């Protein structure tokens, strides 16, 4: 079955442009012109990913993302204007997987949609072995980060970032190295986006009593923390 993408934007030209590009790439596309219509579309037939504009009438994209996150971990790709840096950061804090700045290339949107869905869909043939560090367990088949057996509720991007650090627990990763591992060399993601994902992972783990999931090395980057176990 084709993976279903819900395109949410109050500009019909942008919806048409993205629907054409995504359909050409092999996706089944649905459209919504505002936030309320988007929530109704998700409730009627859950998509595999939502492409979500931030500035919309009748419930903006941030509020839509907040409500979607309250229901589950549906992947979200934000569309934002160049002057909406604060909104983009807030969107990442809410759990969005990525964002694209307007004006954008439809090819870039298709590439980012594909990258998010790939991260969210583990390959069964890989039969990944769970990783255990202290109180943290990464179930790579189920794409779940478990603290004392309780799911931290990470998004696909957050889980993949944590898995990058866990794959080499003694290594301090620069932000550029993390971006390369997540998206591939040359992918346009800012350092601030990585920092936002890190904060989100820390907050979710901290709600389960794990305050040392990720360590910061000033001026360098991040590495996996002791996760409740002495180093």
Residue 86 clears pLDDT 90, i.e. is over it: no
CA distance 217 to 210: 19
Q: Which of 81-85, 134-138, 226-230 has the highest mean pLDDT?
A: 134-138
pLDDT in tens, 176-208: 888 888 766 555 566 788 898 999 999 999 999
Sole residue written with tokens 């990944």: 128
Which letter, b or e, does each residue of 14-32 get, where b requires 16 or more Cβ atoms within 10 Å of its Cβ? bbebbbebbeebebebbbb
Q: What is the pLDDT of residue 131?
A: 82
pLDDT in tens, 142-174: 888 999 999 999 988 888 899 999 988 889 999
pLDDT in tens, 87-136: 667 777 777 888 888 888 899 999 999 988 887 765 444 445 678 889 99
Describe the crossing of helices 191-206 and 85-94 by its angle, rounded to 10 degrees: 30
Q: What is the pLDDT of residue 185?
A: 55
Q: What is the pLDDT of residue 81?
A: 76
Query: CATH number for the 4-120 domain, one of 2.30.30.90, 3.40.50.300, 1.10.10.10, 3.40.50.2300?
Result: 3.40.50.2300
Domain 124-224: give its CATH architecture: Orthogonal Bundle (1.10)
Q: What is the pLDDT of residue 125?
A: 41
**E-strand stretches of the chain:** 4-8, 28-32, 49-53, 76-80, 98-101, 131-133, 136-139, 144-147, 150-151, 173-174, 214-217, 221-224
Q: What is the mean pLDDT of residues 58-73?
A: 85
Q: Which of 18-32, 46-60, 164-178 has the highest mean pLDDT?
A: 18-32
Q: What is the pLDDT of residue 45?
A: 86
Q: What is the pLDDT of residue 162?
A: 92
All structural domains of the chain with their residue ranges: 4-120, 124-224
């Amino acid at each position: 079955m084709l993976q279903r993408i819900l395109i949410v934007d109050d500009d019909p030209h942008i919806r048409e442009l993205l629907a054409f590009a995504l359909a050409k790439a092999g996706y089944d596309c649905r459209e919504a012109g505002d936030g309320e219509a988007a929530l109704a579309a998700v409730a009627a037939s859950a998509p595999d990913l939502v492409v979500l504009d931030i500035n919309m009438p009748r419930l903006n994209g941030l509020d839509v993302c907040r409500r979607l996150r309250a229901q589950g971990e549906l992947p979200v790709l934000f569309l934002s204007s160049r002057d909406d840096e604060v909104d983009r950061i807030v969107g990442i804090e809410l759990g969005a997987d990525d964002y694209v700045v307007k004006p954008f290339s439809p090819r870039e949107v298709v590439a980012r949609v594909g990258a998010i869905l790939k991260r969210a869909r583990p390959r069964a043939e890989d039969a990944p072995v769970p990783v255990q560090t202290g109180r943290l367990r990464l179930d790579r088949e189920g794409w779940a980060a478990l603290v004392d057996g309780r799911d931290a509720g990470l998004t696909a991007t957050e889980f993949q970032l944590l898995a990058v650090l866990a794959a080499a627990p003694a290594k301090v990763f620069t932000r550029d190295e993390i971006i390369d591992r997540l998206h591939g060399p040359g992918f346009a993601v800012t350092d601030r986006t990585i920092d936002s994902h890190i904060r989100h992972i820390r907050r979710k783990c901290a709600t389960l009593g794990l305050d040392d999931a990720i360590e910061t090395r000033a001026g360098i980057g991040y590495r996996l923390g002791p996760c409740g176990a002495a180093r």
